[in-house]
């Protein structure tokens, strides 16, 4: 009986891995015409803000702090392609594909008519840069939170290795088979203390295809210097936790010379999840930044590193 139980557990484990692998590998290719991202629109204020979450996240990431968002905003919360409740095709998941999917939702909701801001956390910060660079006429500016900047995949692995062995494995495609079993191990025991349960649960919804291809195509290979140059004179607020281990603050500071109209807000004692830690502070910074120039110049002038 004991051996039968062990055999059953092993078969169940293997079955889960095979099912998860096939879910990603056999998914249909990305079709921008038939596939629309999951999203929510909240508020009807004159200033429009599109909110883009990070890797393995979802639009739920932003909901914890929405009580602090001013009523003067129309908010567009989007599940990125391959994450949350959005379609998870067997696609390329490169910058062009992600931005194409976001564009479709923005056009549908009228966020392409100007007077908009893009706000992104981590992966979403890179996508926000790409989006504003591609459509400067849509946006008055952008806000990045925990912008990740790495020279290559090796630097990502070295950075995450300093956090934990598990984090190191999670960004090494050599061990992508580990992702096949995430429905089993994504349990409370693995939840970081700075991530609420309802947000951590959303991380189970990606596929290994959406995770690793987005990791490789954007976090590892995006040319942030080129994206910064495309933004040109659009104003950008970079918010970064001093203790961010996932996206080292010094890497973000090194990008500042490539922006022509940047403000850097370094938050002491905060890590990569600075929005979850103090949403009131983040929304206050966003509101001050998105206000008319006559207001934000005086208040933000001393924030450069």
Q: Give the CB-side neighbour count of residue 300, counting CA atoms within 13 A.
A: 25
280-290: pLDDT as tens digits: 999 999 999 99
CB atoms within 10 A of CB 204: 12
With a cut of 80, say whether residue 19 has pLDDT above it. no
State percent of the chain over pLDDT 90: 62
Instruction: Report the chain's mean pLDDT, rounded to a whole number.
Output: 86
In the chain, how long is the greatest CA-to-CA distance?
A: 76
Q: Give the CB-side neighbour count of residue 245, counting CA atoms within 13 A.
A: 10
Q: Which of 117, 136, 138, 120 is nearest to 128 (CA)?
A: 120
Q: What is the reported pLDDT for 134?
A: 96
Name the band, by pLDDT with cuts 50, 70 and 90, for residue 298: very low
Strands (E), 90-234: 116-121, 139-145
Strands (E), the chain: 39-42, 47-52, 73-78, 116-121, 139-145, 235-241, 262-267
Q: What is the reported pLDDT for 194?
A: 82
Question: Which residues, in sequence order, are bridge partners of residue 73?
Answer: 47
Q: What is the reported pLDDT for 300?
A: 42
- pLDDT: which is higher, 295 or 303: 303
Strands (E), 122-163: 139-145
CB atoms within 10 A of CB 191: 15
In sequence order, what are the residues at sequence separation of 6 or more whose Cβ sits closer than 8 angstroms to the Cβ of residue 128? 50, 52, 118, 119, 120, 142, 143, 144
CA distance 76 to 51: 6
pTM exceeds 0.75: yes
31-87: pLDDT as tens digits: 999 999 999 999 999 999 999 999 999 999 999 899 999 999 999 999 999 999 999
What domains are defined for the chain?
10-18+22-28+37-291 (3.40.50.1820)
């Amino acid at each position: 009986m004991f051996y039968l139980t062990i055999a059953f557990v092993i078969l169940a484990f293997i079955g889960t891995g095979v099912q998860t692998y096939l879910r990603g590998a056999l998914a249909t290719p990305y079709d921008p015409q038939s596939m629309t991202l999951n999203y929510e629109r909240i508020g009807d204020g004159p200033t429009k803000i599109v909110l883009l979450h990070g890797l393995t996240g979802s639009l739920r990431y932003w909901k914890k702090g929405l009580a602090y968002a001013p009523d003067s905003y129309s908010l567009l919360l989007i599940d990125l392609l391959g994450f949350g409740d959005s379609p998870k095709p067997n696609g390329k998941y490169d910058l062009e594909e992600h931005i194409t999917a976001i564009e479709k939702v923005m056009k549908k909701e009228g966020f392409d008519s100007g007077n908009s801001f893009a706000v992104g956390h981590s992966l979403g910060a890179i996508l926000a840069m790409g989006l504003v660079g591609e459509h400067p006429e849509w946006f008055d500016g952008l806000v990045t939170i925990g912008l990740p900047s790495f020279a290559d995949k090796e630097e990502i692995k070295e950075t995450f290795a300093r956090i934990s062995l598990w984090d190191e494995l999670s960004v090494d495609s050599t061990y992508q088979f580990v992702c096949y079993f995430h429905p089993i191990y994504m349990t409370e025991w693995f939840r970081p203390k700075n991530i609420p349960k309802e947000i951590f649960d959303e991380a189970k919804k990606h596929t290994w295809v959406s995770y690793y291809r987005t990791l490789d195509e954007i976090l590892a290979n995006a040319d942030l210097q080129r994206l910064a140059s495309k933004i040109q004179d659009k104003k950008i607020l970079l918010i970064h936790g001093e203790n961010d281990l996932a996206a080292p603050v010094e890497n973000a500071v090194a990008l500042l010379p490539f922006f022509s109209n940047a403000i850097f807000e370094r938050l002491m004692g905060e890590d990569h999840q600075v929005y979850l830690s103090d949403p009131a502070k983040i929304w206050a910074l966003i509101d001050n930044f998105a206000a008319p120039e006559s207001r934000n110049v005086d208040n933000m002038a001393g924030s450069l590193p």
